[in-house]
Amino acid sequence: MSTTAVEKLIDENLFREAMGNICTPVAVGTTRDYAGEPYGTTVSAFCSLSMAPPMILIALDRASGLLAAVREFGAFGVNILLTEAEDAGKKFARKGKGDFTSTDWHWHDGVPRLASSTFFRCTTADLLDGGDHLIVTGLVHAVGLGEGAPLTYHRRTFGTHATVSGTLGR
């Protein structure tokens, strides 16, 4: 079925509103640009892909500067922000390279790692078609655990996770 035919199946605004009802982690994708400068932007689609080998995925707009930089460098980071990093979540949600000047960060094997985050350092494994986005799969080479509550995004607002019952068994 062509993309045009699919687009006519549902109202775009209704779809956007329904997706806004899904609580997601606030994730900032990072890499370096052609000049070696840090580049970062909030990504709306992130998830675990595989345990063996360890892989994650992000989806980036085809016109994204981050996508162009990831293609060129071949490596990227994903920073899952903690609640104390709400300001960073706002700064990196804007168009452009991201505001690293007033954000606590450091280089981790050539990729920017934001403070107050759980971090995944990846090499690009594949780029797959995803409509108006490309799905970037990454092979995870390093992980850094954040300490604290996750920053989440739900109905166009920041929040966090609250436990409603006991821990699920494994």
At 125-163, the pLDDT tens digits run 999 999 999 999 999 999 999 999 999 888 888 888 877
At 9-65, the pLDDT tens digits run 888 889 888 888 888 899 999 999 989 999 999 998 999 999 999 999 999 999 999
Strand partners, 150: 82
**Pairing label, strands 75-81, 117-130:** antiparallel
Structural domains for the chain: 25-155 (2.30.110.10)
> How many Cα atoms occupy the beta-carbon half-sphere of 161 within 13 Å?
12
Peptide bond preceding 112: is omega within 30 degrees of 0, i.e. cis?
no
First to last CA, the chain: 40
